[in-house]
A and B are shown apart, each in its own frame.
Chain A
Amino acid sequence: GAVVSQHPSWVICKSGTSVKIECRSLDFQATTMFWYRQFPKQSLMLMATSNEGSKATYEQGVEKDKFLINHASLTLSTLTVTSAHPEDSSFYICSARDQGEELFFGEGSRLTVL
């Protein structure tokens, strides 16, 4: 199956700093990628849809200025958590579709903001 790689797996940062998470499709081109967030004991929640060459589409309640998404190429989408605060500590995971309906996921990134 298709492979999606996400980096970094773990990141710890100080409050007020920005953190960038990368999501790459390694063996296919992804015009659309999806970013999810998962808080402890909760389900994966879609944050935004990342569209190559255009603006991301954010879900209701997700601050677009807080979570900057850039999808500059067909194989790379980045999520930048700006001015991170402890409440942004969470598990972030990306996914993409290849040619079928199923999603291929990255490994996820655990963010801890001190």
Chain B
Amino acid sequence: ILNVEQSPQSLHVQEGDSTNFTCSFPSSNFYALHWYRWETAKSPEALFVMTLNGDEKKKGRISATLNTKEGYSYLYIKGSQPEDSATYLCAPVRAGNMLTFGGGTRLMVKP
């Protein structure tokens, strides 16, 4: 079982603030890393699937970077909006194409 740490556990920001959070995972036997956004009362939704060291992906105001050598990924949100409020989950992929989820970072954006 992989040890996946996400920090912080929760985060309160003001609308318009930019924010970032971290996903740490074992760097050995790395296959890929997934990021998901999970809004309350909805299904988790895929944001990014990242595979290469140094990868940077962007979707609107959300971007993510990946460092496979040191085992971490950052998720950035530029100019947070109330609709960005959600729990953000990361999940490295282990052998057999299985995902191991971190505990998530719960983001709350105040208008």
Q: Which residues of A contact B (CB under 8 A)?
A: 1, 4, 36, 41-46, 49, 93, 95, 100-108
Name the one of B43, B46, B102, B103 contacting A107, with C-beta atoms under 8 angstroms: B43
What residues on B are CB-neighbors of A102 within 8 Å?
Answer: 34, 46, 49
Given known pairs A43-B101, A46-B98, the reply for A106 and B43 (CB within 8 Å) is yes
- B101 pairs with A44, CB closer than 8 A: yes
Q: Which residues of B contact A (CB under 8 A)?
A: 4, 32, 34, 36, 41-46, 49, 89, 93, 98-104
What residues on B are CB-neighbors of A42 within 8 Å?
Answer: 103
Name the one of A43, A101, A104 contacting B103, with C-beta atoms under 8 angstroms: A43
- B43 pairs with A100, CB closer than 8 A: no
- B32 pairs with A101, CB closer than 8 A: yes
Given known pairs A4-B43, A108-B43, the reply for A103 and B99 (CB within 8 Å) is yes
